[in-house]
Structure 1
Amino acid sequence: MGKYIVEKVSVPENSIANESLSYIHYSDAYKVLLPSESAYDVKFIAKKFLTTVPSWVSYLMKVRDRIVSFIGLKTSSRSKVENIKLEQGSRIGIFRVLNCSSHEILLGEDDRHLNFRVSILVEEVNGLNYLTVSTVVYFHNWIGKLYFFIVKKVHKVIVPAMLKNMSV
């Protein structure tokens, strides 16, 4: 198992995720203390986080893509995390890189049923460095609410599992 203790928190006030949607119907955030000896380039940390996807999550994404393709929702690209560049406009899986700063990367997608954003924020607080991964969602219609009702149960397990298993 990983070495990180995951804490459920509110979306940080200084995160650009808070202003990335016209309205937020759902939000969550998970935070870990990073080791003091680590480098804190947000792109490096984001890549480490995004490469910790457990195999069962990859399998679930393949199943999800098959199901949602029948109802016309967007599916994930098959780009390898190791080969992507975390720059505005690039893609990784179901994510599009929407914004990059020196301490935060905002990923997300807009679709017919919902819009979502995922923030990967690295910040220093009282000499300690933290990583917070936040998710915010806007529902367009009942399909979005139904879809996320199902996804939310898995999402609440996936993000903490990825954070616990990160190696920085």
Structure 2
Amino acid sequence: MKDNKNYDYTDEFSSMVHSARFINAAELSGLFFSAPKWITIWMKFRNVMVKPLGLKKERDLWDLVHIESENIATVCKNDKHLDLEIAFITESTECDSQRISVSTKVRFHNSLGKCYFAIIKPFHNLICKILLQRAKNNIEKSFYR
């Protein structure tokens, strides 16, 4: 991942999961992109709302996943208003435990990018936390079967 000082916004959400099986970054990203229906509906609503502003329709980010290693998968999306980088990170910590994380970095190119992100930031944070918890629950549910 690139140095944070080149970004206008960064965040990282992490959780410890208990699983004897190692969860790789590709699997973690897949868990994030199998979102609940309400998030899918929210993204469709977002696409309708930003069209008049000239922002690109959000295409399926799953198509943009790049597996960098067993522990890191990234999504990079750039347009004239902002650059977005999402990283899915897995780290072994101790016996039967692992840290899973999602990190977001954003660089604004203009005031429309700043305005857009200011509006969606609370939803972004909520969705990241919900999807991280959902991924954790799915991993642990499969561990305890």
What is the TM-score of this pair, normalised by structure 1? Answer: 0.72
- Structure 1 position 38, deviation (Å): 3.1
Report the counterpart of residue 39 of structure 1 in structure 2: 22
Unpaired runs of 5+ in structure 1? 1-15, 79-90
User: What is residue 29 of structure 1 aligned with on the other side?
Assistant: 12
Please give the root-mean-square deviation of Cα atoms over the aligned residues, in Å: 2.0
Larger % of helix: which?
A: 2
Kindly state the Cα deviation for residue 36 of structure 1 after the two structures are TM-superposed: 2.5
Structure 1 residue aligned with 2:123 = 154
SS of residue matched to 2:43: helix
Report the number of matched residues.
Answer: 136
Answering whether residue 53 of structure 2 is matched by residue 71 of structure 1, we say yes
**What is the one-letter code of the residue matched to 1:113?**
H
User: Once the two structures are aligned, what percentage of the paired residues are identical?
Assistant: 26
Q: Distance in 1 between matches of 2:40 and 2:27?
A: 21
Q: Structure 1: which 4+ aligned runs deviate by more than 6 Å?
A: none
Decide whether the 8 Å contact of 2:71 with 2:90 is kept in 1. yes
1:10 alignment counterpart: none
Contact 2:64 2:75 in 1 (8 A): yes
- Could you state the TM-score of these two structures normalised by the residue count of structure 2? 0.83
Whole-angstrom distance in 2 between the partners of 1:61 and 1:47: 17
